[in-house]
Amino acid sequence: MTRLRTEPNISDGDGFYQELLELHQGRSKEESDALNARLILLLANHIGDREVLREAMQAAARTAR
């Protein structure tokens, strides 16, 4: 069973975060929400493992409270 990685795993995490912020610059809330939805679906498709995706959804729901 594949487990969700929660430890840092992106080289230059700060640089990635900056790119993500720049991706949203100049977009309305609705455009940013649609962009996030497309990005989530693309990454979920890349991961492909339903159990890992379920773990990620559960982890995101816990931290959103």
Whole-number pLDDT of residue 63: 80
> What is the pLDDT, as a whole number, of residue 1?
61
Residue 12: band (very low, low, confident or very high) from pLDDT cuts 50, 70, 90: very high
pLDDT at position 65, please?
A: 63
| pLDDT > 90? residue 54 | yes
SS3 sequence of 22-55? HHHCCCCHHHHHHHHHHHHHHHHHHHCCHHHHHH
Residue 12 belongs to a domain: no
In a domain, 21, yes or no: no
- Side chain identity, residue 42: L
As a whole number, the mean pLDDT across the chain is 94
14, part of any domain: no
* Domains: count for the chain: 1
Q: What is the pTM of this model?
A: 0.85
Residue 39 lies in a domain: yes
Asked whether residue 56 is assigned to any structural domain, the reply reads yes
Q: Is residue 8 part of a domain?
A: no
